[in-house]
Amino acid sequence: MSDRPLSGVRVLDVSTILAGPLASALLGEFGAEVIKVEHPVTGDPARHYPPLEDGESAAWSMIGRGKRSVTIDLHHAEAARLVGRLAAAVDIVVTNFRPATLRRFRIDFDDLRAYRPDLVMVQVSAFGRTGPYADRPGFARVAEAFAGLTHRTGTPEGPPVFAGYPVADGVTGIYAAFAAMLALRQRDLTGQAQLADIPLYEPLLRMMEDFIVEYGASGETRERQGNRNPHISPNDLYRTRDGRWLALPASTEQMWRRLVKVMDAGDLAVHDSMTARLEHREEIEARVAAFVAAHDLEPLMSLLHDAGVAAGPVNSAADICADPHIRARGSVVEVPDGRTGRPRLMQAPAGRFSGFDATIGGAAPALGEHTAEVLRDLAGLAEPEIDDLRHRGVV
């Protein structure tokens, strides 16, 4: 295997909690050196999210893994100079503060470009740098509601509901890492500084292909339909005889024919188009539900897969960690943690590549673990200067 594709790329992560830190973590998994800027006293708020193990957040162990931790109090008058000197030594800066906050800290794109004229900056914020809402605060749940995802989630008779994970943070973190690659490529082509302005809500809005198009065509907004896909039937979660839940979507004509055959339900074959199946949805969903309810999960999975029908269980964390396929691919791994002396169980980088390996790069760092070496090696500060900054609470 060759070096990872981002080997030699250096990232300054001036962000907190999830979307920005996730973007920088993904870049790190593929070779980038990631330097994480944190508050000298509290660190990233994600360090304190429960559940805690040995005083450290399980979430932080994922978000911070493989990074180097540098402490800088961004509220301090001298912080902007330090961040600028670090920006001069990196390729990409990732932030997720409000635009007004970056201006107040004097670490906005125009500020940092003065230190590195060809800087790449990925700025994640709730609503973006432009528009009337640019300086509104917001988190993932606000973005999910604003983008319409929450409107679509839940049962028709109930209120809107959030997913069990802050989807906007996850999707935007991945999109921000993608944007960093686009901006870096453009910088390499033109030699010019690049700014990627990524609001939390826009990647979600982009992801829901049918949402606005459907409204534009009909003038109507489709209401919540629970677990059912409004465009596909059968497509639901069905409960097995032993109490497990099964995802069973028949999204194509071929899959529908296979499902009808394995159900021994030839009379349903007359519904030979998605339009016809949606017209007879209640009957079809009831028949599929009854078929699933007559079987235990594992024998049913074997029956369906032998027939070429796509289906999968609703897995808990325990199910995931015990699954033979996940174990065979190494989708969940143990990461050594030298500070606690015990390995941590966590997700591996996603995907497998023929020419390189993605790696985790070690456990999450202690707060400020790398402050002195980074300020010395990247910002060019001498030890007495670093000691003075520490004494005055700047780092």
* Inter-CA distances, 211 with 35, 215, 361, Å: 38, 7, 39
Identify the DSSP state of 122.
E
Amino acid (one-letter) located at 137 = P
Please give the sequence-ordered ranges of beta strands (E in DSSP) within 78-193, or none if there are none: 92-95, 120-125
Q: Whole-angstrom Cα distance, residue 269 to residue 277?
A: 10
Identify the DSSP state of 46.
G
| Residue in 44, 169, 236, 337 annotated catalytic | 169
Identify the DSSP state of 350.
S
236 catalytic, yes or no?
A: no
* Inter-CA distances, 1 with 5, 353, 357, Å: 11, 10, 7
Q: What spatial distance separates the first Cα and last Cα of the chain, rounded to whole Å?
A: 39
Chain position carrying tokens 């973190």: 173
Amino acid (one-letter) located at 354 = S
Q: How are beta strands 56-57 and 52-53 bridged, if at all?
A: antiparallel
Amino acid (one-letter) located at 90 = V
Torsion of CA 259, 265, 268, 274, to 10 degrees: -10
Q: Whole-angstrom Cα distance, residue 65 to residue 303?
A: 41
Catalytic residues: 169
